[in-house]
Structure 1
Amino acid sequence: MLKNDYGVDKLSHTYVEARYVLYKMDHEELTKNKKVAQSWLKTLTTARADPDTKIAPTRLDWGIEQVKALINQIIELTRTVFKGPSI
């Protein structure tokens, strides 16, 4: 379908991964795992640095900011859970 309708012969792995991360974020399928979130950040940052990417830079910037905020939420939640009750 992509080849016939849009003339797309191939898609880079980075492009596909970045689209997948953005799709998950759009549909609020957020991770609670810090390592997964960091991998998402790396994927979006790599896609942002790629001059041949077909994803709008503003969209990638939005995704990067959202993932950074998600990582901060995970860190804060972890601190709260492991802080425990004060004596």
Structure 2
Amino acid sequence: MCRRFYGPRERKMGLLAFLRIGVWFNGLRAFRKGFLGNVLGEGFVLGGVFVIGRDPQGILLEHREMEFGDKVNISDVLHAARRITRDL
């Protein structure tokens, strides 16, 4: 059985994404923090972060990028990771 996070197709944003003000603010924020980016890979695929617990727990955190540069809250990731049970 094949499982996919994004369903039957990847989530992408096209060139019109650069007209969104949030994308420009995210890019400016990254530039100010010293991130210049790269030109490797597929540049239009939106990313995401998942924290997955053991079988009965399932997905503890799901964050899908809504636009380029949309960041996950790190404290939410750490909180979800701490909730993963260690029992076998």
Calculate the TM-score normalised by the size of structure 2. 0.29
Higher share of residues assigned strand: 2
TM-score where L is the length of structure 1: 0.29
Q: Which has the larger share of helix?
A: 1
